[in-house]
Structure 1
Amino acid sequence: MKETMTAILIYMKKHAPDEITIEEISAHFGYSKYHFSREFKKLTGFSAADYLSSIKIEQAKQDFLKKQHSITDSSFDAGFSSLGTFSTTFTKKTGLSPREYKNQVESLYHLTKNYDDTTSTSYYAEEIQKGDTYQLSVTIHYPKSYQASITFVGLFNSSIPNHKPVVGTALQKKIQHTFTHIPKGKYYLLACSIEKTLNPLRYFVLDDCLRGKVDYPLLFPKDSAKEIDIYLREPLPEDPPILINLPKLLTDTLKLRNP
């Protein structure tokens, strides 16, 4: 299945709006649903169902932000059978309801643009647990002539960034950061970069932003104090969508830091 994974991911992206099921996808590639689901999770780090729902959310988000479609029409066009299911899934993966997300684009964009360009800030998915914590140093490498606005880097519980990171940072004018207070566990190191732009939607629809990752999970404390290099690249067709609302994550952190 490893040899066909790229084809499977591309197929899922193409047919997600058709309300295709995991059982139908597995059958198309000649696998049982159980074997397909187990191997998919083992090879990608996220479940097939999570990937499929994330693709649908990304398409709906693009429709109602870029194309100005209604939220209802966008949800059905993306393959959701009900508006309620779409709203619940959207809120879970982005932290805002679809309507809140749409209404807050301008305000969150301006707050993000006003972010202090001489520093970085750390943000967490939850309070740092008591007990032993660990650290990790990361260096970001950009393509030649690329002008980054903000680069987000974080440690995630799965390799699909549709949830808050365990720990992360937003970098401007910096290429290196050392994470501290990393709890014991297994995490995926992911990064994406937004190029300098006057278009607010570029901060919210991240399908064409540069991205980078470590291709294996990091284990703490085993990988504590490592120095990791991430090389940013153009997105690939099989890359999972980036659903986390990065401007909201950044501005929420700034509010906590400067109440």
Structure 2
Amino acid sequence: MKETMTTILMYMKKHVSDEVTIKEVAAHFSYSKYHFSREFKKFTGFSAADYLSSIKIEQAKQDFLKKQRSITDSSFDAGFSSLGTFSTTFAKKTGLSPREYKNQVESLYHLTKNYDDNTMSTSYYAEKIQEEDTYQLSVTIHYPKSYQSSITFVGLFNSSISNHKPIVGTALRKKIRHTFTHIPKGEYYLLACSIEKTLSPLRYFVLDDCLRGKADRPLQFPKDSTKEIDVYLREPLPQDPPILINLPKLLSETFKLRNP
């Protein structure tokens, strides 16, 4: 399957509005659903079902944010059979309902811009963990020449598709290196994306064309503790999974934790 994975991902994106199922995708490429799902997860680091629902959410989000279409029309055009299913899936992956997401773009944008205007950095932790049970990791971000970053988000995730909150994360401003601490035992994917300098609020919410990068393999802790990892940011590829995490909201939650 490795040789056709790009083709499979592109096929799923092309037919996302057709309410295509995983079983139908597998059959199109002459696989059983079980074998297809197993091999898909093995090569991508995320499940086929998770990928399919994520690209549906991304399409709908772009429709109602960039094209100013109604949330209902956007959800049906993205292949959801009901508004309720869409809203539940959307909230699970972004942390907000579609209407809350749309209504909070302006306020979250200003919070992010305020952060952008200073040199501080901040870190996010999914949960409080006993100090003796945690590990650390140093990450250096490499940017293409002449690229001007506004904010670069880096985090350790449970899967290689960033449609959920990271275990630990950071927002880098005028820094290229960060040391994560309080990493719990487990296997995680190191993912990064960078937003260039912009005056457009939507640039922080629709991340399909932002630079991205990742570690070349899953990281295991404590095995990989204290290691130095280099992440090279690049332009997105057509087969890349969407970045659905609401980065400004995550930044807002981090500020609340630091300033209760």
Give the TM-score range, shorter chain.
over 0.9
For residues 165 and 152 of structure 1, what CA distance do their matches in structure 2 show?
10
1:138–1:178 CA contact under 8 A, matched in 2: yes
Match of 1:257 in 2: 258
Residues 1:35 and 2:40 are matched in the alignment: no
Letter of the aligned partner of 1:187 in structure 2?
Y
Match of 1:175 in 2: 176
TM-score, normalised by the number of residues in structure 1: 0.98
Match of 1:4 in 2: 4
| CA displacement 1:2-45 (0-9 Å, x = unmatched) | 11001111111111111001011011111111100000011111
**Structure 1 residue 126 displacement after superposition:** 2.5
Greater CA drift, 242-251 or 109-118: 109-118
For residues 40 and 130 of structure 2, what CA distance do their matches in structure 1 show?
31
SS of 1:140 mapped into structure 2: strand
Letter of the aligned partner of 1:66 in structure 2?
K
Match of 1:80 in 2: 80
Letter of the aligned partner of 2:15 in structure 1?
H
Letter of the aligned partner of 1:27 in structure 2?
A
2:131–2:182 CA contact under 8 A, matched in 1: no
| CA displacement 1:202-237 (0-9 Å, x = unmatched) | 000000000000121100000000000000000001
2:153–2:194 CA contact under 8 A, matched in 1: yes
Match of 2:150 in 1: 149
Greater CA drift, 208-217 or 181-190: 208-217
CA RMSD, Structure 1 to Structure 2 (Å): 0.9
Where do 1:7-26 residues align within 5 Å?
7-26=7-26
For residues 126 and 74 of structure 1, what CA distance do their matches in structure 2 show?
34
**Structure 1 residue 108 displacement after superposition:** 0.2
Match of 1:44 in 2: 44
Q: Which runs of 5+ in 2 are unaligned?
A: none
Match of 2:247 in 1: 246
2:160–2:189 CA contact under 8 A, matched in 1: yes
Percent identity among equivalent residues? 87
Match of 2:126 in 1: 125
SS of 1:114 mapped into structure 2: helix
Match of 1:111 in 2: 111
**Structure 1 residue 124 displacement after superposition:** 1.8
| CA displacement 1:145-204 (0-9 Å, x = unmatched) | 100000000000000000000001000000000000100000000000000000000000
2:37–2:47 CA contact under 8 A, matched in 1: yes
2:212–2:234 CA contact under 8 A, matched in 1: yes
Where do 1:180-219 residues align within 5 Å?
180-219=181-220
Greater CA drift, 126-135 or 225-234: 126-135
Task: Report the number of matched residues.
Answer: 259
For residues 166 and 130 of structure 2, what CA distance do their matches in structure 1 show?
15
**Structure 1 residue 53 displacement after superposition:** 0.1
**Structure 1 residue 256 displacement after superposition:** 1.7
1:203–1:247 CA contact under 8 A, matched in 2: yes
SS of 1:20 mapped into structure 2: coil
2:108–2:252 CA contact under 8 A, matched in 1: yes
For residues 184 and 12 of structure 1, what CA distance do their matches in structure 2 show?
34
TM-score, normalised by the number of residues in structure 2: 0.98
Match of 1:161 in 2: 162
For residues 184 and 193 of structure 1, what CA distance do their matches in structure 2 show?
27
Match of 2:97 in 1: 97
1:163–1:244 CA contact under 8 A, matched in 2: yes
For residues 131 and 48 of structure 1, what CA distance do their matches in structure 2 show?
36
Residues 1:64 and 2:64 are matched in the alignment: yes
Moved over 2 A (4+): 125-131
Does the C-alpha gap of structure 1 residues 129 and 41 become closer, same or farther in structure 2, counting only changes over 3 Å? farther
SS of 1:181 mapped into structure 2: strand
Does the C-alpha gap of structure 1 residues 203 and 13 become closer, same or farther in structure 2, counting only changes over 3 Å? same
| CA displacement 1:119-148 (0-9 Å, x = unmatched) | 211102223356421000000000011000
